[in-house]
């Protein structure tokens, strides 16, 4: 696999960090992605929305990272929600691992932000 994963982070008006990941995630770049995502969430943020609509490939190391990130944020009294629209290249992977049974999975960034804000702390 390639080592390409492009990460852009912003915050919305309530301080929720929105991280957009594009490209491919595998064992070769997951540590870099983890470092970037972890550093992007200040203690004051209510949580993070991961926008994976432009992620074209993810292996088990990437899926594991998302689960661990959710646990880490929960330990900090923050939340994680994932935006993954229908038809996204990696949607089937998330269905196979039953991702939505563990963490909120939404069809858009806006829907993920709503889920994040409405989830109990």
pLDDT at 33 over 60: yes
Q: Which two tokens stand for residue 101?
A: 């049974």
Q: Which two tokens stand for residue 111?
A: 């829907």
C-alpha 4: how far from chain center: 17
Q: For position 3, what pLDDT does the model report?
A: 60
Q: For position 116, what pLDDT does the model report?
A: 86
Using one digit for the tens of pLDDT, what is the confidence trace for 40-90? 999 999 999 999 999 999 999 999 999 999 999 999 999 999 999 999 989
Domain boundaries, the chain: 5-9+26-118
Q: For position 43, what pLDDT does the model report?
A: 93
CATH superfamily of the 5-9+26-118 domain? STAS domain (3.30.750.24)
């Amino acid at each position: 696999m390639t080592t390409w994963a492009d990460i852009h982070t912003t915050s919305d008006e309530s301080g929720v960090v929105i991280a957009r990941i594009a490209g491919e995630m595998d064992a070769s770049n997951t540590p870099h992605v983890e470092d970037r995502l972890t550093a992007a969430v200040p203690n004051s943020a209510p949580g993070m929305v991961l926008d994976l609509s432009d992620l074209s490939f993810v292996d088990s190391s990437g899926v594991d990272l998302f689960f661990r990130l959710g646990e880490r944020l929960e330990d900090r009294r923050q939340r994680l929600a994932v935006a993954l629209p229908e038809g996204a290249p990696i949607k089937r992977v998330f269905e196979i691992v039953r991702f939505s049974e563990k963490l909120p999975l939404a069809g858009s960034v806006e829907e993920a932000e709503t889920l994040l804000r409405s989830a109990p702390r």
